[in-house]
């Protein structure tokens, strides 16, 4: 039988693995050698084993296709993605710079609103954002930190340039896959590691805990931290249990907490115990029925009052979503310039703002070439992929855009880079992205933990787990 990797056909995209002549890039040489020496049937056997292990461990997410949600695993691809040290240090600098600027933006729009008064970002854009939380105006947060945990989605263009596609500032998930993928790969296929020593990922819970500890109100060096989950039906419930367990903190639901005299407590069998930091994996709207959705049973009544009084820290801050509103995204390079006086390390993807009449006209005229995204949705929902869309899809989007232009942006299709991936017959190139995570406690910390998502369908550019994506272990080299 032909060696496995020889079937890998190169494509007209940036190929992570090999250069234009089909020669493996230097950081993939060792892996290529190992892959060539492995028997295909052995490979197939391991793929099956690994996915069975993940299912048994319950490393699942929930797809909201029916009322109760279906538990599924994120398919795991055995061939690791490798990020060499020099690229990683560029990424680190780029996303740290971004998070600094976005955090400054949040402190500003909920504070003095200088960037709006100076006309860099339009008032209307911010005030019309669904995620601009007016209750936060005038809040003074400990250390002025809003974005304690973020996940920045990066993609690579045809020439290998890293672009920022999205800043996920609300409750980005995926870290559990990073931890599980590495663990499973080490156990099931230790040989793959023979030429490599990727930076460890298993210190993430420790670093998250450190960031949350540093985020506590001033002077509190041993804060009680809890992870607030919406509960067992949430798509990322597995991740919540895993992080709580590994951080050594309580996993709480809304009704485990109670606010008494502006202080948050958790209800234990030995009475109530004060809570200082809440790593919340619940959306803003559900946090406090007194101020937001009154019928929400997921949240804690009075939480916003305790928060305003500075008696508890919420990570991330309420209202952080305005900074990752897709229509605010085009302004991030300007924010970096405005707050830091620097040029962006990582470029944005060019973006058309449908709220602007000229740009909207362009978008409506080129719907078949662009990707259109709804600013109020995420996870690959509410999206139009122009080239693969039907006339009917485009017609629907045209009407929707004309009715609510503020809710749409459009971008040229960026041909995501490709990576060798196991498919039915062997190994083939599939499109991938990269989501590194950023922690911001006292200072910015970028652990070597990044999630590589892969579009398993041939030719697909959509990597979202809800849309048929899988994941890879990501090796960051020193």
Site for another protein, rule CB under 8 A: 58, 113, 116-117, 123-124, 127-128, 134-135, 137-138, 231-232, 237, 241, 244-245, 250-253, 255-256, 258-262, 266-272, 289-290, 294-295, 301-302, 305, 308-309
Give me the least distance between CB of 123 and another protein, in Å please: 5
Cβ-based nearer residue to another protein, 302 or 420:
302
Give me the least distance between CB of 315 and another protein, in Å please: 19
**Side-chain-facing half-sphere of 430: CA atoms under 13 Å:** 28
Cβ-based nearer residue to another protein, 308 or 435:
308
Cβ-based nearer residue to another protein, 280 or 419:
280
Cβ-based nearer residue to another protein, 9 or 137:
137
Distance CA 71, CA 34 (A): 34
Give me the least distance between CB of 125 and another protein, in Å please: 10
Give me the least distance between CB of 182 and another protein, in Å please: 19
Cβ-based nearer residue to another protein, 226 or 416:
226
Residues 6 or more apart whose CB falls under 8 angstroms from that of 98 comprise 152, 164, 167, 332, 336, 344, 346
Give me the least distance between CB of 267 and another protein, in Å please: 4
Give me the least distance between CB of 134 and another protein, in Å please: 6
Give me the least distance between CB of 167 and another protein, in Å please: 23
Cβ-based nearer residue to another protein, 62 or 214:
62
Cβ-based nearer residue to another protein, 198 or 289:
289
**CA triplet 219, 221, 222: central angle to 5 degrees?**
135
Cβ-based nearer residue to another protein, 185 or 303:
303
Give me the least distance between CB of 262 and another protein, in Å please: 6
Distance CA 463, CA 296 (A): 31
């Amino acid at each position: 039988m032909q060696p496995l990797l020889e079937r890998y056909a190169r494509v007209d995209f940036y190929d992570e693995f090999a250069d234009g002549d089909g020669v493996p890039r230097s950081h993939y040489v060792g892996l290529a050698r190992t892959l060539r020496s492995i028997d295909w049937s052995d490979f197939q056997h391991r793929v099956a084993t690994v996915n069975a292990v993940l299912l048994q461990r319950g490393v699942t997410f929930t797809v909201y296709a029916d009322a109760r949600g279906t538990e599924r695993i994120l398919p795991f691809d055995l061939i690791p993605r490798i990020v060499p040290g020099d690229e990683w240090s560029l990424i680190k600098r780029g996303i740290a710079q971004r998070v600094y600027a976005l955090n400054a933006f949040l402190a500003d729009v909920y504070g003095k609103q200088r960037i709006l008064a100076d006309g860099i970002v339009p008032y209307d854009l911010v005030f019309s954002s669904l995620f601009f939380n007016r209750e936060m105006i005038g809040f003074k947060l400990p250390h002025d930190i809003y974005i304690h945990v973020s996940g920045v989605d990066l993609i690579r263009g045809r020439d290998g340039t890293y672009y920022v596609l999205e800043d996920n500032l609300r409750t980005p998930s995926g870290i559990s896959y990073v931890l599980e993928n590495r663990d499973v790969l080490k156990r099931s296929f230790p040989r793959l590691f023979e030429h490599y020593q990727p930076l460890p990922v298993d210190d993430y819970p420790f670093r998250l805990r450190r960031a949350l500890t540093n985020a506590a109100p001033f002077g509190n060096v041993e804060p009680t931290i809890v992870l607030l989950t919406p509960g067992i039906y949430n798509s990322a419930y597995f991740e919540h249990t895993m992080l709580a367990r590994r951080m050594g903190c309580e996993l709480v639901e809304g009704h485990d907490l109670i606010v008494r005299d502006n202080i948050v407590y958790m209800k234990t069998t030995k009475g109530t115990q004060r809570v200082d930091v809440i790593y919340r994996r619940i959306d803003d709207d559900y946090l406090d029925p007194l101020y937001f959705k009154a019928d929400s049973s997921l949240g804690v009544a009075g939480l916003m009052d305790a928060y305003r009084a500075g008696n508890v820290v919420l990570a991330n801050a309420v209202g952080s979503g305005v900074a990752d509103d897709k229509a605010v995204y085009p302004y991030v390079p300007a924010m970096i310039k405005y707050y830091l006086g620097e040029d962006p390390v990582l470029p944005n993807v060019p973006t058309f703002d449908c709220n602007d009449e000229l740009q909207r006209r362009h978008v409506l005229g080129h719907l078949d070439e662009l990707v259109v995204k709804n600013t109020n949705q995420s996870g690959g929902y509410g999206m139009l992929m122009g080239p693969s869309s039907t006339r009917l899809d485009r017609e629907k989007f045209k009407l929707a855009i004309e009715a609510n232009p503020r809710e749409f942006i459009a971008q040229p299709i960026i041909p995501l880079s490709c990576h060798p991936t196991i498919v039915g017959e062997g190994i083939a190139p599939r499109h991938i992205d990269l989501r590194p995570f950023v922690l911001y406690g006292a200072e910015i910390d970028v652990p070597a933990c990044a999630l590589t998502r892969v579009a398993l369908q041939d030719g697909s550019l959509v990597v979202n787990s809800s849309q048929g994506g899988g994941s890879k272990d990501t090796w960051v080299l020193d």
